[in-house]
Copies of this chain bind each other. A is one copy, B any other.
Amino acid sequence: MTNKKKYIGEVEESKAGNSALKVNQGIEQPPQVNPSFRKYKRVKRILTISDYVNGILAGNVNVLSQAITLVESRLPEHQDLAQQIIEKCLSLGKKSVRLGITGVPGVGKSTFIEALGMEVVNKGHKLAVLAVDPSSERSGGSILGDKTRMEELSVQKNAFIRPSPSAGSLGGVARKTRESIVLCEAAGYDTIFIETVGVGQSETAVHSMVDFFLLLMLSGAGDELQGIKRGIMEMADAIAITKADGNNVQKAKLAQAQYQNALHLFPQTESKWTPIVLTCSSLEKTGIGEIWETIKNYETHARENGFFEKNRLRQSKYWLFEALNAALKERFYDDSLVKTELKKLEIEIENDKISSFVAASKLLDIYFKKK
């Protein structure tokens, strides 16, 4: 393992070949994309698209990591390369189950992911752990901060843990994570965990890229809950009450019953799956197997009634329209004239000088006349 900074695609001439790519295995460093890459002496050999694709298909972790780094890069040439790799990988690796895991800091997310991850790996699966959390929203409990707690999982041959991209908007990070899923699946990972901190906007994004959404909760139904955004509970396919160990077991069982009752009052899900509440202890490794079984039961259920594939297809369309709409908005709101006028109009709205709709049409007139 080395901490030396590496540039993307760089291969030392003397050790050319996949085995010599110097990207750390297991837990990785945050991606180091050097924006002044071109200023430096060109390295001798850059991987070609086929190098990447073949490396990924062969399950080479180093190549996979480098490809994800390309996905995360903001340089146009890296983006081009990344898109071509993704396109080649797209029709491969469709057999995965994608699991979204969320919960506020303090719920024990990292230790839970380690425990469930070990369960999955021990069952013979190949597991990739990704994250969706724009750096600005990050707080404790993220993969990177807790890497010491994933010690056991991170050294597993069949586990690939990748921290969240270190910067970017939610939309950008979500896109990168979704594209990374494609690469991981092509590399043979049949189980993908996507972690998110349950306090921001990222849950909807994660919910729109996973098959199963797991919400981790603490047993106390009091102040701890305030961090969870309203609406997240209704997205959950299962709730796991964590830290059900020691003298916390009774409290956890009580919380389980309460949440189960609450979920029964919710309208039925489109998948026709009844959300389940479970308890577990990552420390004592209890309840972890049941959670994995629940996820597999869901998979069987959703594949049999056709929801699984239908949902995947809908998610693909969702991201198409998300990307389109985001680009349209970005172009508009980044326009300097729009910026200036928008500020003025917002003040007029605050003072009841203009209605929201009239303000909108004024701004649109300004924008489209300019073109």
A225 touches B357 (CB 8 A): no
Chain B residues with CB under 8 A of A364: 324, 327-328
Q: Which of B83, B90, B358 contacts A353 (CB 8 A)?
A: B90
Known: A90-B355, A230-B234. 7 other contacts (CB 8 A): A86-B358, A87-B355, A178-B356, A234-B234, A316-B356, A327-B364, A328-B332
Give the Cβ gap from A320 to chain B, nearest Cβ, in Å. Answer: 4
Chain B residues lying within 8 Å of A371, measured Cβ to Cβ, are: 371
- CB pair B349–A316 under 8 Å, yes or no, is yes
Name the CB-closest residue of B to A176: B357
Q: How does the 8 Å CB contact mask read for A292-316 relative to B, with 1 for contact and 0 for none?
A: 0000000000000000000001001
Q: Which of A229, A262, A357 neighbours the largest number of chain B CB atoms within 10 Å of its CB? A: A357
A285: CB under 8 A from chain B? no
Contacts of A327 in B (CB 8 A): 360-361, 364
Q: Are the C-beta atoms of A182 and B360 separated by less than 8 Å?
A: no
What secondary structure prevails in chain A residues at the interface with B? Answer: helix
Given known A-B contacts A87-B355, A360-B320, A267 and B228 have beta carbons under 8 A apart: yes
Which B residues are in CB contact (< 8 Å) with A267?
Answer: 225-230, 233
B residues in contact with A359, CB < 8 Å: 320
Query: In the complex, A183 Cα to B229 Cα: how many Å?
Result: 35
